[in-house]
Amino acid sequence: MLFYVVAHLNYAVNSWPNSIFDANFCNCDGKISTTHMAPRTYNGMADLQVNVKDLMAGGPIILPHNHQIILDFIWDNNHLTPWKGSEYNLMYPDVRDPSGGEATYILRTFTGYKEKGTFIECRAFNGETGSKTLYMERKLGWKGLLIEPDPQKYEQLLSRGRNAWISNVCLGTKPYPYRAYIENGTILGDIHDYDTMFYEGEHVKVVQCMPIYSLIAAVNLYDVDYFALNWNGNELSVLRTIPFHKIKFQVISVPGRKDKDEENALIKFMDSQGYSPAPNKRYWRTAALPDLIFVEKIDPYFFYQFVDDRKQIHRNNRTV
């Protein structure tokens, strides 16, 4: 178990965007020390000793998202549970697509019913009700990462027998690990900053928050066919923490927005990362406000050929 770390890094406040994503960009040797030492600087570098628990609570330094100290903390503290090869334990096993058609639409239109694809879904809730990835997993052998911080829903998720890594962390909206409160057992499991007036109890729990890239690095999942992101209205903040130059997402979905300014902000950001809103984004009927779907940018000249190719694949796989 890691208790103290001496980290040597450039401590300029404005330097973190260029170094947080990759340990190679930060000279953090991660040496362990049991002595207590006051911070000092040498040649512009900060030599700091930090309790790892304090580091995971939000400070006082920022390590790269994929630093080994963070990855070890995730595994050592059971923030990731690997698939155990158990049988499915579903409440409604006869339901073909619990997403209300969204998974079918994505498979048909953008993946050609690809087999053995990969996914990330958060929040995953109980792993069945409204799941956007269960159909992909059961029918086509997909696997991936499911994230659910609500302790009650997380236990239900574990019991479903999903073929995925399962994490109980809160997805971070900040570029470093920190802690937050979650209202346990509510419909959405509302998440609140740790410095708000909440106290841990039966219905309020402390949860560990992590940048999603830390989880991706921990399970080595850099090529993702479908990323379903639903994070209580904070999707844009989560997306801003992702190093898109290091991870390939083929399709990303986020909840639709009533506020057009919010929707335009999402579209503008995703455009800057190389993704466009999918045509017919209101195609299926899952809710009054369907998700926004983003796909990797494709030359418009080739788009219809892209769709036709997938329709042909769909015809070849229509028995699925």
Residue 14: half-sphere exposure toward Cβ, Cα within 13 Å: 0
C-alpha to C-alpha distance for 314 and 320, rounded to whole angstroms: 9
Question: What pLDDT is attached to residue 129?
Answer: 94
Nearest partner of 7 among 54, 45, 56, judged by Cα: 45
Question: What pLDDT is attached to residue 2?
Answer: 41
C-alpha to C-alpha distance for 80 and 254, rounded to whole angstroms: 23
Question: What pLDDT is attached to residue 45?
Answer: 39
Helix (H, G, I), strand (E, B) or coil at 256: coil
Instruction: Match 């236990």 to its residue by tokens.
Output: 155
Name the class of domain 82-172+208-316: alpha beta
Mean pLDDT by 10 residues, the chain (320 residues): 40 37 40 30 43 79 87 94 88 94 91 95 94 96 95 92 95 88 59 54 76 96 96 91 95 89 94 86 55 80 51 51
Question: What pLDDT is attached to residue 144?
Answer: 96
Domain boundaries, the chain: 4-77, 82-172+208-316
Contact 181, 194 (CB under 8 A): yes
The one-letter amino acid code at 190 reads D
- By DSSP bridging, strand 143-147 and strand 118-122 are parallel
Measured over all CA atoms, what is the biggest interatomic distance in the chain, rounded to whole angstroms? Answer: 67
- By DSSP bridging, strand 204-210 and strand 223-229 are unpaired
C-alpha to C-alpha distance for 191 and 179, rounded to whole angstroms: 10
Q: In a 10 Å sphere around its CB, with 0-12 CB exposed, 13-18 middle and 19+ buried, how is residue 186 labelled?
A: exposed
Token duo for residue 272: 């800057």
Helix (H, G, I), strand (E, B) or coil at 5: strand
Contact 140, 320 (CB under 8 A): yes
Question: What pLDDT is attached to residue 104?
Answer: 92
Nearest partner of 49 among 75, 29, 73, 64, judged by Cα: 29
Question: What pLDDT is attached to residue 157?
Answer: 95
- The pLDDT tens digits for 162-209 are 999 999 999 999 888 988 877 765 544 455 555 555 555 556 678 899
